[in-house]
Structure 1
Amino acid sequence: MTTPTIPVSRKKLWLAAIKPPMYSVAVIPIGVGSAVAFAETGIFDWSIFIMFITAAILIVAWVNLSNDVFDSETGIDVNKHHSVVNLTGNKNLVFWVANALLAIAALELILIAWWQHDPMILELVALAVFLGYTYQGPPFRLGYLGLGEIICFITFGPLAVCAAYYSQNPAWSTANLKASIIIGITTSIILLCSHFHQVEDDIAAGKRSPIVRIGTKKGAQLLLAACIAVFAAIARFIIEGHFPQWTALSFLSIPVAVQLCHHVLTYHDQPEQVKNCKFIAVNFHFLSGLLLGLGFIWGQSAL
């Protein structure tokens, strides 16, 4: 008697549900904030960095799982076959696994705060987690009002990047705040791109995403403007002396931004063609953030 194998299609559904590439949204803000702190102090604590990265990944896992739970309650994921709730058929189990991951992350952050004898990092992350909950969680469900991109910008930009900086250097930094703006925009771009292919489902569930509000064509134009803003801001911060010249390395991610914008501008109103654009957006976010962080590290002497 042979052991039955899992169908390939189901494996793909689980892979899509787990969303491995999406965890770059946890790694990049922590990496960039820590890189800026190293650039300004020349000091780097690997134990804190690894613990913070782990906690950030667990928090993003909590966000993804809890969002699946909350979306299952509104019916917006009825056609989303790779929803963890739809795959398991057990909403309660998914809910408690999500909360367990969040609890582990909280313990790691409490330990960092205890080492530093400073609760600031806990306060910053707690605010980020609360805002993350308001995105889909009842009674707020602010994502259904079209506020998801704003929440995403704040949580993965200023809050996450500043918390990472503070974990390495308990102080505040103008350069780091400006870097957090870049990361906030590129993270919000990922969320924006996730809406293009599900306009009908969003409308049916009463979700007023930016793409539902302004349409796919203007949404594609907004995406182009956001990508241009990223590089314009980096150039300005370099000219002003807030960023070291090495951060111009991030311009090497321009081809990915061009690929993303061209793809969305071409297929914005064709769900099956445009649905993969969020993965191109993830590539853009990861590459631009990685190069920005390396620019700070290599340009340490310039700050």
Structure 2
Amino acid sequence: MNLRLWLSGLRPKTLPASIAPVLVGAALASRIINQLGTCIEIYPEPADCAANRTIAEPLQAHFWPVAILCMLVALFLQIAVNFANDYSDGVRGTDDGRNMAESKGWSQANGRGAKPQRLVASGVPPKHVLAAAGIAAVLTAVCGLVAVIISQAWWLLAVGALSLIAGWFYTGGRHPYGYAGLGEAAVFLFFGLAAVLGTEYALSSTIDTLGVAAAICCGLNAAMLLMVNNLRDIESDRAHSKRTLAVRLGEKRATIMLMICCILAWALGLFLCMYLWMPWGGILLISGIAVPIRMVSSVPKHQFRTALSDAGFQTLLFAVVVVLSAML
């Protein structure tokens, strides 16, 4: 067992992006709970204050356990999806030709230049990779079930089940939607709307307009990360009939769409952060504006390692600024 290869198969750069929407949802839920528990100290206490405090107290009691469980759900789900994609692409031969030298910048002079970068394509038995995906999926289900039992948000069971199904059929099954150009839409839904709003509801038993705005921003950030990845792989995907959105649109139009998504995400994110903490939330977010600029400018130059790092970083930047703005 090559530990370094398995760690690479985890695709660790994707993991922070899966946690970011949970942090955002938790921060906004905490804001809602704090508002419920805050009331002017007068006597006799107004009836609505007593009612709000009755609602807030149990939410505060289980906030951290549920928040940590939501984070574990997102983390294990991302790992399960990564291993499932590795398995499905590997058995289809889609990963053939993607070598470590191209993706990691290794020198071909060391004799390892032609080594494939994915687990199955590197010679790991497919059943081992599928087993790893299954273990991660079980851990996702267990953490999600415990979170639902604690929060009593039973409808989230359906969201969790749909997330696992979507993760498998992204590249698995006879007609994977990731091969039809729908990957970005699925990422937007599940790592944006579902992750943020599901976390917010599990922790606060409600969803508000700020949560929807934040979920859209997180969804766009996650979609941009996948778009950069698909732009990097556009030639090999086209050769293996994997018609991602980048393949369908072509490199030029896909790059333009990436820029549009970036502008929309930052415009909405700026409004949200300034609303939460005027004007410092907006100032904090603007301080990182060089990151998306470098991301979109790196793609036409085919500097995908830089673009992928920046796409991942901006998801965390947005999450951190929202958390600070909601708290302060």
3-state SS, counterpart of residue 175 of structure 2? coil
Amino acid at match of 1:280: D
**How does 1:191-206 map onto structure 2 within 5 Å?**
191-206=226-241
* Counterparts of 1:131 and 1:250, CA distance in 2: 32
Offset, 1:210: 1.9
Number of residue pairs aligned between Structure 1 and Structure 2 = 283
In the TM superposition, structure 1's runs of 4+ consecutive aligned residues that sit over 6 Å from their partners are none
3-state SS, counterpart of residue 48 of structure 1? helix
1:234-271 Cα offsets, whole Å, 9 max, x none, are: 344567x5x44354232232110111111113x14xxx
RMSD between aligned alpha carbons?
A: 2.1
3-state SS, counterpart of residue 253 of structure 1? coil
Q: Which residue of 1 aligns with 2:107?
A: none
* Counterparts of 2:313 and 2:137, CA distance in 1: 26
Offset, 1:289: 2.2
1:205-255 Cα offsets, whole Å, 9 max, x none, are: 11111221222222222222111111222344567x5x4435423223211
Q: 1:24 aligns with which of 16, 19, 24?
A: 16
Amino acid at match of 2:94: I
Distance verdict in 2 for CA 1:117–1:18, change over 3 Å: closer
**How does 1:1-303 map onto structure 2 within 5 Å?**
13-42=5-34, 43=60, 45-80=63-98, 81-237=116-272, 243-245=276-278, 246-248=280-282, 249-265=284-300, 267-268=301-302, 273-298=303-328
- Residues 14 and 82 in structure 1, CA contact (< 8 A), matched pair in contact too: no
Offset, 1:297: 2.1
* Counterparts of 1:104 and 1:238, CA distance in 2: 34
Amino acid at match of 1:61: I
- Residues 196 and 211 in structure 1, CA contact (< 8 A), matched pair in contact too: yes
Offset, 1:178: 1.1
Which ranges of structure 2 fall in alignment gaps of 5 or more residues? 35-59, 99-115
Q: Decide which moves more: 43-52 or 206-215.
A: 43-52
Distance verdict in 2 for CA 1:162–1:187, change over 3 Å: same
Q: Decide which moves more: 217-226 or 103-112.
A: 217-226
> Larger Cα Rg: Structure 1 or Structure 2?
2
Structure 1 vs Structure 2: percent identity of aligned residues? 24
Distance verdict in 2 for CA 1:217–1:112, change over 3 Å: same
Which ranges of structure 1 fall in alignment gaps of 5 or more residues? 1-5, 299-303
- Residues 93 and 121 in structure 2, CA contact (< 8 A), matched pair in contact too: no
1:58-96 Cα offsets, whole Å, 9 max, x none, are: 111000000001111221111232212233521011101
Amino acid at match of 1:37: A
* Counterparts of 2:144 and 2:237, CA distance in 1: 35
1:111-166 Cα offsets, whole Å, 9 max, x none, are: 12112233122222222222222311213311111110001000101111111111
Amino acid at match of 1:166: Y
TM-score, structure 2 as length reference = 0.80
- Residues 270 and 285 in structure 2, CA contact (< 8 A), matched pair in contact too: no
- Residues 9 and 86 in structure 2, CA contact (< 8 A), matched pair in contact too: no
Distance verdict in 2 for CA 1:100–1:231, change over 3 Å: same
Offset, 1:169: 0.8
